[in-house]
Structure 1
């Protein structure tokens, strides 16, 4: 049975699941009634961060135009342009045992594509969640519902996997940003 987390909570991932090496981080969402005439396209992205909380290079940024990173240890399975349907809207596969040693933290982000020009924000999004699944047996290990705490934000740092004493832990972050993906990328040391 999955552990359900709230914003700010952290939990051991590999210590409580011995032998766990491959996980899928699923991100999902729904859009509220929206009548702006534009598509509502949310995107999952991943930033691989070093001990300073920064990306060492652009190859440490995984998104719909660069699906593989971390020397092959991270794979974005593709862009969902509508968010229609149940379950995960986008997924990221992580081979924990192959993540490069310099990566201390893997940050999972959801942004709204062209949010400013389309006048869209996370106040128009509901049922957003992140979950961690054991890829080998499809067992859901962690579930984090983001809640409805956002209004004008156009990007959210949803969660993080991070190393601690040789083990991987999961943190439910839920931190909203204005300025979209470019703002978060800048904070992580990249220029988009």
Structure 2
């Protein structure tokens, strides 16, 4: 049975899903009817961060770097339209391969060229993230984002982190203005603004 989370809730994956070795993190969304002349291209990313919450450039997995060198986190590819049912993008997390210096994996989404296209998450609806056991294909948890994000162009959907040797899931739902550059700065990466 799927556990439904609200913003701010946390669960202990080691207790709720004992034996979980590999997870599929599925993200999905719809766009509101919007006639701005541009398609919406949302991009999922993963920041593998150390204990202080900072990520190195090689620990950032996104459409331009689909696989972490450890193969602990793999992005399955960029969906440029979000059309269709089910997950729009997926990130696979192999807990057994996560390097020892990594204590957190933040799963995020940004709108490609949001400023140029005058788009924000206020024009996105039915956004969700779900965690599925890759071995059994059972959905363990789901977090539906119900909050209105009127000006935000980037979101931290969740953080998967280790505490006392156990993996946990936190439904974050934090929005940022400034797109991917703002997220990168939040996790300690230096990038140019969009």
Superposition TM-score, scaled by structure 2 size: 0.96
Structure 1 gaps of 5+ residues are: none
- Matches of 1:5 and 1:99, distance apart in 2: 25
- Name the SS of the counterpart of 2:146 in structure 1: coil
Residues 8-157 of structure 1 aligned to structure 2 (within 5 Å):
8-55=8-55, 57-69=56-68, 71-157=70-156
- Matches of 2:17 and 2:36, distance apart in 1: 45
Aligned length: 191
Structure 2 gaps of 5+ residues are: none
- 1:16-75 CA distance string (max 9 Å, x none): 2221101000000000011000111000000000011101x2111000110001511110
Structure 1 segments of 4 or more deviating over 6 A?
none
- Name the SS of the counterpart of 2:115 in structure 1: helix
Contact kept? 1:70, 1:100, Cα under 8 Å: no
- Matches of 1:141 and 1:77, distance apart in 2: 20
Contact kept? 1:43, 1:80, Cα under 8 Å: yes
- Name the SS of the counterpart of 1:59 in structure 2: strand
- Name the SS of the counterpart of 2:188 in structure 1: coil
Superposition TM-score, scaled by structure 1 size: 0.97
- Matches of 1:28 and 1:125, distance apart in 2: 10
- Matches of 1:43 and 1:139, distance apart in 2: 24
- Name the SS of the counterpart of 2:39 in structure 1: coil
Q: Bigger shift: 128-137 or 10-19?
A: 10-19
- Matches of 2:104 and 2:22, distance apart in 1: 16
CA positional deviation for 1:132: 0.2
- 1:76-128 CA distance string (max 9 Å, x none): 00000000011100000010111001111100101000000000000000000
Contact kept? 1:126, 1:148, Cα under 8 Å: no
Contact kept? 1:24, 1:132, Cα under 8 Å: yes
- Matches of 2:186 and 2:86, distance apart in 1: 30
